[in-house]
Amino acid sequence: MGTVGMLRAAGVGAGDEVVVPAFGNPEVAQAVSLTGALPVFADIDPATYCLDASAVEAAVTSRTAAVLVVHRFGRSAAIAALHQVGQRHGLLVLEQGESETPYSEVGERRQRAAYLSAKLKGVRTPEGGDGHTFQQYVVRVPGNGRPDRDAFARAVRAKGVECGVPVKTPVHRTPGFRRDVCLPETERAADETLALPIGGAMSRRELHRLVSACNALGGLLQPAF
């Protein structure tokens, strides 16, 4: 069942509000709109990149019918805390995962992630957490936000290492869903995060090259005070 079908099956419709993350793609907010409900954006936990329970609670109004939780990058949201918010306010808590990493690849990804987390310098490596499958290995580039992150990405690519910006524009900044809402962790994550390669048949030599390319740049980017 798609997201729209899931929401309609839960009874979500016109006049309702559904709390969703802005850190991600717009399809979740679009699905809410297609039911006739209004997507309301809440901030994320900077460790998991998923909805933060306290931010969700702050976004609840008398019209809130549901919370749509999206698990991100292979790590789950703090679902127990989010269910507690739902119970306090009589809300449905619906979950949506990204495309899952094949089980056969999870062990290799975790090994590569452990290697990168031990070797990388100059970037903030992801927190592992229970059950993290590392669908994406997402680091943060310190410095002055988006300009330094983008410069870092260009320099790494110039050394032959592919990388990507996981969320280029938070959904609440896109034309169709523009909202005047304060989401500092979402904004910071969009400005600082970079996904480094970790999947497929990546060899140890390629991992070494990735580490060398990133570490050669780590000392060049210092936070501004």
Average pLDDT of the residues in 104-125: 92
pLDDT at residue 122 is higher than 50: yes
Alpha-carbon distance of 26 to 148, in angstroms, equals: 25
Q: Do both 139 and 117 map to the same domain? A: yes
Residue 203 phi, psi dihedral angles, 5° rounding? -85, 165
Rounded to the nearest angstrom, the gap between the alpha carbon of residue 158 and the centroid of all alpha carbons in its chain is 26
Q: Do both 86 and 138 map to the same domain? A: no
Average pLDDT of the residues in 171-198: 95
Instruction: Provide the CATH number for the domain around residue 86.
Output: 3.40.640.10
223 within a domain of the structure (yes/no): no
Domain count, the chain: 2
Nearest to 51 by CA among 67, 62, 32, 63: 67
26 within a domain of the structure (yes/no): yes
Please give the mean pLDDT across all residues of the chain.
91
Q: Do both 108 and 189 map to the same domain? A: yes
> What is the residue whose two structure tokens read 């056969």?
104
Q: Do both 179 and 122 map to the same domain? A: yes
Q: Residues 115, 198: contact at Cβ < 8 Å?
A: no
Q: Do both 109 and 57 map to the same domain? A: no
pLDDT for res 218: 67
pLDDT for res 99: 65
Q: Do both 69 and 38 map to the same domain? A: yes
Range list of H helices, 2-50: 3-9, 27-34
> In terms of DSSP bridges, do strands 137-140 and 64-71 run parallel, antiparallel, or are they unpaired?
unpaired
Task: Supply the pTM of this predicted model.
Answer: 0.91
The string of pLDDT tens digits covering residues 26-55 is 999 999 999 999 999 999 999 999 999 999
pLDDT at residue 223 is higher than 90: no
140 within a domain of the structure (yes/no): yes
Instruction: Provide the CATH number for the domain around residue 197.
Output: 3.90.1150.10
* Segment holding 79, helix H or strand E: helix 79-89
Q: Do both 91 and 134 map to the same domain? A: no
User: Final residue of a domain: which of 80, 97, 114?
Assistant: 97
pLDDT for res 102: 80
Q: Do both 70 and 117 map to the same domain? A: no
224 within a domain of the structure (yes/no): no
User: Final residue of a domain: which of 97, 120, 155?
Assistant: 97
List Cα–Cα distances, 117 to 51, 114, 124, 125, 204, in angstroms.
24, 5, 9, 6, 14
Q: Which domain holds residue 23?
A: 3-97
What is the rounded (10 degree) CA torsion for 33, 176, 100, 43?
Answer: -90
User: Final residue of a domain: which of 43, 77, 97?
Assistant: 97
Q: Do both 115 and 160 map to the same domain? A: yes
Q: Do both 92 and 109 map to the same domain? A: no
Q: Do both 145 and 197 map to the same domain? A: yes
pLDDT at residue 217 is higher than 80: yes
